[in-house]
Amino acid sequence: MIVYDRLWITLKKKNISQYALIKDYGIDKAQLQRLRKNMVVKTVILNRLCS
């Protein structure tokens, strides 16, 4: 199972909110919800988060 706990820790350290992920980084609300629930997300979303 994939867990995104380290992602949330990193975002908190960088002061990036979930709202900013939607507005500034173009992450879809549905994909953000899937990240919150540790569900499978599209690789394009992971690429946006890593770059």
pLDDT, tens digit, 9 for 90 and up, residues 1-51? 889 999 999 999 999 999 999 999 999 999 999 999 999 999 998 888 888
pLDDT of residue 50: 85
Whole-angstrom distance, CA of residue 43 vs CA of residue 49: 10
* Residues whose CB is less than 8 angstroms from the CB of residue 29 and which lie 6 or more positions away in sequence, other chains included: 22
The DSSP 8-state label assigned to residue 25 in this structure reads: T
Distance in angstroms (rounded) separating the CA atoms of residues 3 and 38: 5
Say which residues have a Cβ less than 8 Å from residue 34's Cβ, sequence separation at least 6. Answer: 40, 41
User: What are the structure tokens assigned to 29, written together?
Assistant: 């609300």
